A and B are shown apart, each in its own frame.
Chain A
Amino acid sequence: AQSVAQPEDQVNVAEGNPLTVKCTYSVSGNPYLFWYVQYPNRGLQFLLKYITGDNLVKGSYGFEAEFNKSQTSFHLKKPSALVSDSALYFCAVRDPNTGGFKTIFGAGTRLFVKA
């Protein structure tokens, strides 16, 4: 069965410092991997995705993520955090071969960026 783990409930960083939000997954085959962001009282917004090709993918708002097949990880990163990056981040996976169009989400990681 597909699953996604986000091992940290919360990540705290100072503004201007690099940030990493961790994600590992369990899917047979070659998954599609996604990151979404949720601001307070809003729906989720798509940030970036990995489908195939270069392991480092770039997305919205200066975020990027690195796909590591051997470690089954897809960590979200940003070189320099902003206070406005504070939000809830979700990692998600879809198995195009067996999961149809169903996307499975991790429990979420709250990012807090301090000024």
Chain B
Amino acid sequence: IAGITQAPTSQILAAGRRMTLRCTQDMRHNAMYWYRQDLGLGLRLIHYSNTAGTTGKGEVPDGYSVSRANTDDFPLTLASAVPSQTSVYFCASSDSKQGSTGELFFGEGSRLTVL
């Protein structure tokens, strides 16, 4: 089934460790996004990429980095994890061609706990 695959599903991480959350899509969407979901705050955009080779900062980019080497993959890296990065992370994609209305397709999420 076409869609977005995220890995790992869940991870417990010691503070200060480096962690990469993986995201792969097979819908050939140009645009990809990383959101974090926290209780009472909804989803907040961390980083996005409108097309391969370009990235941009969202609402809460500090402590995170992304890369977009190709259309399908959009990994999110925490260089040195802190407890406030404990959250559920969602990767999403959308069709960004001219005329597209841009509804998002989401992965199943990666639950990260930083101790």
A-to-B contact residues, CB < 8 Å: 6, 9, 32, 34, 36, 41-46, 49, 51, 90, 92, 94, 96, 100-108
Contacts and interface: CB of A to CB of B under 8 A. Distances in A.
Contacts of B35: 105
SS of B interface (majority): strand
Nearest to B31: A101
7 contacts: A32-B101, A44-B92, A45-B106, A96-B102, A103-B102, A103-B104, A105-B43
Given A32-B101, A101-B96, A106 B106 contact: no
Given A32-B102, A49-B103, A94-B102, A43 B109 contact: yes
B64 interface: no
Interface of B: 4, 31, 33, 35, 40-45, 48, 50, 56, 58, 90, 92, 94, 96, 101-109
Nearest to A106: B42
B9 to A, nearest CB: 9
Contact of A102 (B45, B105, B108): B45
A90 B58 contact: no
A41 B109 CA distance: 8
Contacts of A94: 102
